[in-house]
Structure 1
Amino acid sequence: MTRISSYRLVLPPPWVRVPLGPDARDRVHDIVEQAAAQAPRNMSPDQLGPLKRELERRMLGQLAAAADRGGLDHYFPLGPMHGINLGASFFVAAVTPPGGTADLTPDALAGGVLTELVASTPGAVAVEIGGTVWVRTDGVDAPDPGRTGGVDVPVRRVTYLTAVPDDPGQWILVTFSTVGDGDPDSEHTLLTVELFDAIMSTWRWATGPDGWD
């Protein structure tokens, strides 16, 4: 059996990846400096400094929240895309498999457990990506003033869940969320979801001892 050690996603600019680990703070600092380099030339250091510190603080807060949920990597757009602010991000997490699945064969998993999840989860559908079956869900979270980041508007949330091929004891959950333009059913918000689905369609597992960076 070949162990899956990593994965690859194709990211359109300005999306970036931040691995959640000991190097996350340095990566965030580099991203903030990249963003600051695009600031208007007439912005003084006294104006730019507080903005950089606030951006870094918010990013580190998001990463800490993702890490608490088993996050491995966090993804977000570093600025507008085609002049549009997406208000979106997603993270990849290792999660505990549903009860009783650790000893299943991959074929039994795809044919049984994932099918049961689709049947029992509202809004869930089975999606095949690169030869792997995922369970995709799509829903809307009600406004919550206590939510991380203080976002008191509806949030559209999409998840993809699957077991690592050839190792049903390892499961991966990809969770995407967007406030869009404030309306979870607007064309803007749904197009942002389509963008995430397009990114997920590029998911490929890395095989071999080293995987991909």
Structure 2
Amino acid sequence: MSTFDMGQQPPPIEAAPPRSYELILPPGWVRIPLRKGTKEALEKILFSHMGQVPEGIPRDDAMRFRLDMRRQLERQARAAKRNGGLDLYLPVLPRGGIFLMASFIVAELPIGQVHAAPPQAVITQLANEDVPGGTATKVDVAGAPALRRDYGSTLEEEKPSPSAKTVQQVALPTRRVDYVIPVPDDPGRWISINFSTPGDGDIDSEFTDVLVELFDAVVATFKWSYE
């Protein structure tokens, strides 16, 4: 569960807005909070959740693998926080001897912060916008209207240069699915749930589709908490 507190007082309306949200995660996935407790969560993952390493990595290289994973997680967490992230979710245990390359971020959105518009109108406008190479559809999340976008994109990833001891940026094709969700009883506040994966290298493959279906199943468990 993540506390949905972004440093502002709830509006003076009769119905109180939610204070948090809840998701049911697949086995092997973890939550990294981005507003506070990030360092502690990363330490727990490094020493508790990453006791296994992919097949083919020698025992002597296990600690180096974990430290490399730690650096990657830190980079992902910093990037997600810069983009308004509340929480970062990703798999940290191998399945079938391999680690899944996938993650999703729950973030706040600036929609309607200056002039709040009816959620239905905003969702309709977003659904009508062109999504290059993808689709935008109206869906229900937690019993209320929301938006789902599914499209291809590119992800900039650091890779060692084969000819020198330097790091270069490599653009990887990724499959992205975004949900845009209004916060109930709190005009002008929205969150997004943003999923990305390179899949097996083919963003339209059956394997990649399975990962997208897994993410959609997670979003189907989303609910608001008022405690």
Give the one of 111, 128, 150 matched to 1:138.
150
Would you say 1:93 and 2:107 are equivalent positions? Answer: yes
Which residue is equivalent to 2:186?
167
Structure with the higher fraction of residues in helix conformation = 1
CA contact (8 A) 1:101 1:168 kept: no
- Does residue 201 of structure 2 align to residue 182 of structure 1? yes
User: Superposed, which structure 2 residues align to 1:46-57 within 5 Å?
Assistant: 47-57=61-71
1:205 paired residue number: 224
Query: Which amino acid is the alignment partner of residue 211 of structure 2?
Result: T
CA distance in 2: counterparts of 1:199 and 1:54, whole angstroms: 27
Q: Percent identity?
A: 37
Q: Greater relative contact order (Cα 8 A, min sep 6): structure 1 or 2? A: 1
Tell me the equivalent position of 1:120: 129
Q: What amino acid is aligned across from residue 43 of structure 1 in structure 2?
A: R
The match for 2:119 is 109
Any unmatched runs of 5+ in structure 2?
1-14, 160-167
Structure 2 equivalent of residue 9 of structure 1: 23
Aligned to 1:152, the other structure's residue is in SS state strand
CA deviations on 1:145-186 (whole Å, 9 max, x unpaired) are 679x95532100110002101112111011100000000100
Which of 14, 21, 43 matches 2:59?
43
Structure 1, unaligned stretches of length 5 or more? none
Q: Does the CA-based 8 Å contact 1:69-1:93 persist in structure 2?
A: yes
Deviations 1:67-91 (A, max 9, x none): 0000000000112335554310000
Instruction: Give 1:120's aligned amino acid.
Output: E
1:25 Cα deviation from its structure 2 partner: 1.0
Paired position in structure 2 for 1:27: 41
Please tell me whether the aligned partners of residues 36 and 48 of structure 1 are also in contact (alpha carbons under 8 angstroms). no
Query: Which string of whole-angstrom CA distances, capped at 9 and with x for unpartnered residues, describes residues 47-77 of structure 1?
Result: 3332222211111110000000000000001
- Residue 65 (structure 1) aligned to one of 39, 55, 79: 79
Structure 2 counterpart of 1:157: 176
Matching residue's letter, 2:129: S
Take 2:100 and 2:48, find their aligned partners in 1: how far apart are those partners?
19
TM norm structure 1? 0.84
| Match of residue 6 from structure 2 | none
Would you say the 8 A contact 2:123–2:147 is kept in 1? yes
Cα displacement (A) at 1:144: 4.7
Residues 5 and 206, structure 1, Cα contact 8 Å, conserved in 2 = yes
SS in 2 for 1:154: strand
What is the aligned residue count? Answer: 199
- Supply the AA of the counterpart residue of 2:111: P
How large is the RMSD of aligned CA atoms in angstroms? 2.4
DSSP-derived class of the 1:114 partner: helix
Listed one character per residue, the Cα deviations across residues 19-57 of structure 1 (whole Å, up to 9, x for unaligned) are 1133111111110112442359x824xx33322222111
For the Cα contact (< 8 Å) 2:52–2:93, is it kept in 1?
Answer: no
